[in-house]
Structure 1
């Protein structure tokens, strides 16, 4: 269940590949490059967890649009209904041939 996920779950998977699939079955691989908690943000009364973000990267083509995706990892399993948003950082690691994406958990 998504409400049970914490940053610690994903910290062990940094630098590993996740498969991201849209509702039509099209998939791409994203590399998890950061799992970061935001302890100063208000924790949700529903999840009772510290909010956190996951940052991913992949080669620039093809780009994936912001949307709802299924995210799968060979050890952590499958997570459905996650909103993935592109990040625009001109000085981000990887240079101009790399795109970055984020998933946020409140």
Structure 2
């Protein structure tokens, strides 16, 4: 029985962006509606956005809707994990905690 090789886009090319993707993205945004319209997943939509203009395309969408750009959301959980913020903010030590640390107790 042959095992399935993982497809990284080299064996079978990735699905290219449709010709009307920019217009549909500007109308619908990156939401479940655009995934259903093109019958694909969010990773493919994100790749198409990067291929069709990236930040410029997002800025055009933001100017249409009047919403703020959210560049920090593109990094997602991975950015927080790498920076060590996965557990939330750790409170700064209080005066008494600092005093205990100096004594070495």
Task: Give TM-score scaled by structure 2 length.
Answer: 0.21
Quick check: which one's strand share is greater? 1
Task: Give TM-score scaled by structure 1 length.
Answer: 0.21
* Bigger CA radius of gyration: 2
Quick check: which one's helix share is greater? 2
